[in-house]
Amino acid sequence: MRRSRMKDGKIVTEDHSVVESAADNKMGKSSVLQQDDFGVGVSFHESKASAEEKLIKSHKSSKDHTTGKLTRNVTLLQGVSLIVGVMIGSGIFVSPRFVLLHSGSVGMTLMVWIASGVMATFGALCYCELGTLIQRSGGELTYIREGLGLLPGFLVSWTMVLILKPASVAIITLSFASYAIQPFLSDSNIEPEILIKFIAAICIILITSVNCVSSRWAGQMQIVFMVMKLLAIGIIVMIGASRIASGHYENFESPFKGTNQNVGEIAHAFFSGLWAYDGWNQLNYVTEELQNPHKNLPRGVMIALSLVTLCYTLVNVAYLSILTPAEMLSSTAVAVSVAEKVHPTLVTVMPLFVACSCYGAANGSIFTNGRVVCAAAKEGHMPRFLATINERFHTPLRAIMFPSFISICLLMLGDLDSLLSCFSFVAWIFLGSTFLSLLVLRWKRPHDHRPYKVWIGIPVVMVIVSCYLVTAPLLAKPQSSAVALGFVFSGVPVYYCFVNHNK
């Protein structure tokens, strides 16, 4: 902005555009003001320029704290505990019977658990390439946006932020509450539904509060609960080893007797096994906070997946050394059935271990949920204020609270299991689209530096597997699948009315 005036018959021009340019470009340069003919008031203008420069720097600093980057304080150990903590929830303690039910034999059951671990590792390796190529938090929504475009990326945000992530946390915390009160209930007592929902809500509030205050505290808490999970699995494995050492291995004498010959049933067994391995992609949601992601992302994934695959295989061997296949199929909570058969003391202890496992899974999920919402808000898929980084705690406080609030609201619904199972195949649509994005980025950006590069056959295999895991439930349950797809595509008009219009 230029302003001219007459002084002693001459035109004197004052130029304030440099200050404005400095504010616009955030470069903090010193303002340069032209002197009048007599050099009057030079010190005054210099002090004024200095004050304006300080004001600009103050505004810049404030804005950096508001929308700046998250700090890299997630260590390799915390990354491993995040993956293990979310993967090992209540599933391995509660529902291994579904794999046995669909596979038909002990030998095929163990093969499904091992093969599911290998497939989860393949998927995680694909995510390692994407995570080291695109070092931004957000997981699927970030990768699909880069590979397939803006609209597919928005549909991922729309579904994950509003349904998938909050519903998953709600179910995990309900499982926590159910197992936490088990030692205090007699056999004749019916579980109080209102009390369970109240405890689940308190659990969500506590975990959310810790994650809002400090990501470091949340990471340390995740390590503690990972140790407790592994301790519970270790107890079961040692009991099973002692049973096998004492000669109780009759269930393994004809391991493949009764194997289901139906290919569709075997596929359902893999579906159940892969569900238990869900969570292998959690570290990609916090890439911006991971220390040295080039090295720690692949390392964390390989350590975590190897550990979980070994644990799942050994714990199933232990289950089958203690329970007969018929007892395992009739049990609603396999770990508790093992405790009842081995020693009365374990009947009290084992539900508490399972509750701690669920609590750790909920903590990891809430930690990553906040980063997904923050990434979605930065992309303009959600309200911008959700991307705010709190100046005091350096955490995406609003982004953490938003999905947790939705989770508490979903607790009021009667049938969350049906809701999540309805949308489970949608999750595999997103995973398959992410694997496809890797292939597209190989074609679109062939010369980009890739610190980690997976063999091209692995994403191709994972795209094929994803296609099956999407098609099978779509054909088996067309009505519920249509409802889920209807919600996903309801985001299309929202995108064109708000997101694309604003861009």
pTM above 0.85, yes or no: no
pLDDT in tens, 198-214: 999 999 999 999 999 98
Question: Which has the higher per-residue pLDDT, 126 or 468?
Answer: 126
Write the secondary structure of 31-50 as one string of H (helix), E (strand) and C (coil).
Answer: CCCCCCCCCCCHHHHHHHHH
Question: Which has the higher per-residue pLDDT, 2 or 387?
Answer: 387
What integer is the mean pLDDT of 327-356? 85
Residue 427 has pLDDT above 90, yes or no: no
- CA 240/CA 395 separation, integer angstroms: 43
Confidence of residue 341 (pLDDT cuts 50, 70, 90): confident
Question: Which has the higher per-residue pLDDT, 391 or 155?
Answer: 155
Residue 65 has pLDDT above 90, yes or no: no
Question: Which has the higher per-residue pLDDT, 50 or 369?
Answer: 369
Q: What is the mean pLDDT of the chain?
A: 82
Write down the pLDDT at residue 33: 37
What integer is the mean pLDDT of 310-331? 91
Residue 218 has pLDDT above 60, yes or no: yes
Specify which of 29-38, 176-185, 209-218, 414-423 reaches the highest per-range mean pLDDT: 209-218
What integer is the mean pLDDT of 15-44? 42
pLDDT in tens, 33-59: 344 443 444 444 444 445 444 444 444
Confidence of residue 136 (pLDDT cuts 50, 70, 90): confident
Question: Which has the higher per-residue pLDDT, 178 or 441?
Answer: 441
Confidence of residue 494 (pLDDT cuts 50, 70, 90): very high
Instruction: Identify the bridge partners of residue 10 per DSSP, sorted by sequence position.
Output: 7
What integer is the mean pLDDT of 458-465? 94
Residue 332 has pLDDT above 60, yes or no: yes
- CA 259/CA 78 separation, integer angstroms: 40
Q: What percent of the chain has pLDDT over 70?
A: 83
Joined together, the tokens standing for residue 261 give 């010959």
Residue 254 has pLDDT above 50, yes or no: yes
Joined together, the tokens standing for residue 69 give 């980057």
DSSP labels, 425-494:
HHHHHHHHHHHHHHHHHHHH-TTS--SS---THHHHHHHHHHHHHHHHHHHHSHHHHHHHHHHHHTHHHH
- Using DSSP bridges, classify how beta strands 10-15 and 2-7 pair: parallel, antiparallel or unpaired: antiparallel
Locate tokens 């300080």: which residue?
54
Q: Give the range among 171-180, 217-226, 295-304, 474-483 with minimum mean pLDDT.
A: 474-483
Write down the pLDDT at residue 502: 64
Residue 356 has pLDDT above 80, yes or no: yes
Joined together, the tokens standing for residue 485 give 């797809």
Write down the pLDDT at residue 127: 95
Write down the pLDDT at residue 70: 67
Contact 395, 369 (CB under 8 A): no
What integer is the mean pLDDT of 144-154? 94
Confidence of residue 265 (pLDDT cuts 50, 70, 90): confident
Write down the pLDDT at residue 8: 47
Write down the pLDDT at residue 191: 76
Confidence of residue 188 (pLDDT cuts 50, 70, 90): low
Confidence of residue 415 (pLDDT cuts 50, 70, 90): low
Write down the pLDDT at residue 480: 81
Contact 453, 129 (CB under 8 A): yes
Angle (CA) 481-466-100 rounded to 5° is: 85
Q: Which of 303, 370, 270 is nearest to 128 (CA)?
A: 303
Write down the pLDDT at residue 369: 93
Confidence of residue 471 (pLDDT cuts 50, 70, 90): confident
What integer is the mean pLDDT of 213-241? 89
Write down the pLDDT at residue 363: 93
Write down the pLDDT at residue 503: 58
